[in-house]
Amino acid sequence: MKRALISVSDKTGVVEFTKGLVQAGIEIVSTGGTKKALDEAGIPTLSIDEVTGFPEMMDGRVKTLHPKIHGGLLGRRDVASHLDAMKAHDIQPIDFVCVNLYPFKETILKPEVTEADAIENIDIGGPSMLRSAAKNFNAVTVVVDPKDYPRVLDELKEQGETSLATRKSLAAKVFRHTAAYDALIAEYLSQQVAETEPEKLTLTYELKQTLRYGENSHQQAAFYQNALPVPYSIANAQQLHGKELSYNNIKDADAAIRIAREFSEPTVVALKHMNPCGIGSGKTILEAYQFAYEADPTSIFGGILVANREVDLATAEEMHKLFLEIIIAPSFSQAAFDVLSGKKNLRLMTLDFSDQATTQQEIVSVLGGLLVQDQDVIEEEPESWEVVTDRKPTAEELAALAFAWKAVKHVKSNAIVVANAHQTVGVGAGQMNRVGSVKIALEEAKGRMEGAVLASDAYFPMNDSVEYAAQHGIKAIVQPGGSIRDKDSIEMANKYGVAMVFTGVRHFRH
């Protein structure tokens, strides 16, 4: 008679699955709570200690770590010496393994979890059995996911056994599962000892959705989310309406919510191709939207909007006038949702803006490797900035400089933003020289220069950008400083009566 070992933490569907195995003539060995559940369902089972001759001990820490278990899993049925050893030591082959693991992830996600609780939920015997069974997939069927129960039972019913292809596929899934499990444990313990640069970086993500294609239609793509959910993330946003997100939608939405995180007052961010085309702040979300729209009425078409307050009816009616890809907000009033959902393809998404923790690092792939860095979330206070010119910025200019500085850090380098105290009016992004970005931003801002200031994400390597800005109406500039030619830029600003402040912090975004 073939034998199955069943020991699961997640008991979803396990009774029905086990009944199917019994109907196929398979003997059941089980442990602890799983055995109790199967016994209560009237399914005959053997206990682990009946197989091993040893009781479960040490609060269940030691029960399956025994030669009669692992010999039954690892013994090759096609090698005579293995069969002889199994016979000599009274080891019966185990042909099926159904195991899932202690809930380590669920435990560490609890707000008040203690280290002792986390450690107790590190499964040792479970991964050992899974790995032993998966290694011997030529003879052993191993199941770690309840979703695979029907697949195994169907093959047993139709063929009397599982196919090699199925066993190999399930074995691969097991090793993915145990690798992810160990990665979470490694991450947790590394955090406990404040390890910031581990010699091995083990990451685990879970498939959220398969995408129709990537950046272009000939590229395959998928969206994976962090195994430990990040509250303020596009992966955690809830889609209420509209068609499925695309690869580019996800990238743009991520960029937009990063910008919205900078502002506490009612703010709307309009974004296109990873760069903000308009940012507006106001007393109400409607006013903020109007400022964001007026910042660049052309580029906002087909863009993504993020509002950091509930979208009300008045704001929705204005948004409805445009073709937009996505609107993200903490919530939509029912009336607003009714208006916006009239466009069947418009994605409406909600996101919790209350928890914007930024402990997660940024990980970017390059050919043959990964780059890892902290997020650019340094807190800065305009009061700490250094005024380096003869003229100091006015209070109104300082407010505009602070707004522009929040915006420019999210524009692709070389980045220039022209803004007043409540909206961007010109954005120059991604140019190979800084004065090129200055010219683009000022061209966009033409006719809207009242109260406008200029922000640069990095220092000016020479004074041409300062001169061009001054000649086109800029009266105040904020930049990091730090160039060997800072003196030239300061002198140029003084020549034109421009106030300039140094922040001492650079905000490149490649």
Cα–Cα distance between 508 and 345 in angstroms, integer?
35
CA–centroid distance for 428 within its chain: 28
Cα–Cα distance between 73 and 194 in angstroms, integer?
38
Structure tokens at 26: 């398979």
Cα–Cα distance between 451 and 420 in angstroms, integer?
5
Cα–Cα distance between 445 and 441 in angstroms, integer?
6
Q: Provide the b/e sequence for 299-331 (b: ≥16 CB within 10 Å).
A: bbeebbbbbbbebbbebbeebeebebbbbbbeb
Active-site option among 19, 82, 273, 320? 273
Per DSSP, what are the bridge partners of residue 99?
A: 7
Active-site option among 135, 208, 320, 343? 135
Residue identified by tokens 């009781």 is: 55
Residues 6+ apart with CB under 8 A from 380: 405, 503, 505
Other beta carbons less than 10 A from residue 116's beta carbon: 8
Residues 6+ apart with CB under 8 A from 507: 376, 408, 409, 415, 457, 458, 480
Other beta carbons less than 10 A from residue 223's beta carbon: 16
Dump the DSSP string for 303-323: -EEEESS-B-HHHHHHHTTS-
Cα–Cα distance between 133 and 63 in angstroms, integer?
17
Q: Provide the b/e sequence for 190-206 (b: ≥16 CB within 10 Å).
A: beeeeeeeeeeeeebee
Residues 6+ apart with CB under 8 A from 114: none
- Whether 135 sits among the annotated catalytic residues: the reply is yes
- Whether 35 sits among the annotated catalytic residues: the reply is no
The CA–CA distances, whole Å, from 481 to 272, 490, 506 equal 29, 10, 8
Structure tokens at 374: 């902290």
SS3 339: helix
Q: Which of 197, 212, 55, 68 is nearest to 129 (CA)?
A: 68
Cα–Cα distance between 226 and 259 in angstroms, integer?
21
> Do strands 205-211 and 221-226 pair parallel, antiparallel, or not at all (unpaired)?
antiparallel
Catalytic annotation, residues: 135, 273
